[in-house]
Structure 1
Amino acid sequence: MQRVEGVKVNIEITEAAITALKSSMKGDEETHALVVSAESGGCSGYMYDMAIVEDPNDDNYQRVEENGMTILVHNRDSSLLDGIIIDFKDSLMGGGFQIENPNADRSCGCGQSFG
């Protein structure tokens, strides 16, 4: 597989997000990782996607180690996701993960789409 080049990615993750992720991983932090990606679509051009996967050990992903968590960003998404802050907000309506992105010129009201 050909290596995809990207920019060096910096990601920050809050304590609330780490707690929520560790709860979802159920002790699999050593063998699994959070993959954060930017998919084409949404009302602003791109949508965030996050998935917990078995660590692919693939050179096309950049690894960020943060408080015992491994976060992976594919090189093709690195310029869109460099500098993001991943947070988890709990609310009466269920809460969820939120991403603050300094690269987004615009975003939709739901916070899931950016451009």
Structure 2
Amino acid sequence: MLTGKHINKLIAENIPVFKGHISPIFTTDVDSDSVIYFIKPVDSEVISQIQLEIRVICSDYDDLEAYTEQITNLFTTNENKSSIVVDDVSFRGGLSGGGTLFRDDLQLYENTMFFSLKVKNEGGIKQ
């Protein structure tokens, strides 16, 4: 099953600015750019489907757009890109929605991305 440790590892290794600033559900760290994620299982089969919600919170809009593109590329596969493997889990999928807003209360930008992913434990172990 895809877990927070997989999300954290994939993002932190590929976008080092977020190392130590990746949290599930919410963050209280508004002094630096950060990532929040939610994992929502749709079903639980050998190859399961999940909805992954990732929110990038950033003080600079241009940085937000660059981070959004990097994260989208991390969690998106197509017919020319093989499955993404993190430790004992592999997955395929892509961006299925989202949007950007300005949080006036925090004076920060927030981009929400929804990914639909098909997830498989390596070796086909039932999750």
Find the structure with the greater CA-based Rg: 2
Greater RCO structure (CA 8 Å; 6+ sep):
1
Write 1 or 2 for the structure with the bigger share of helix.
2
Write 1 or 2 for the structure with the bigger share of strand.
2
Normalising to structure 2: TM-score of the pair? 0.27
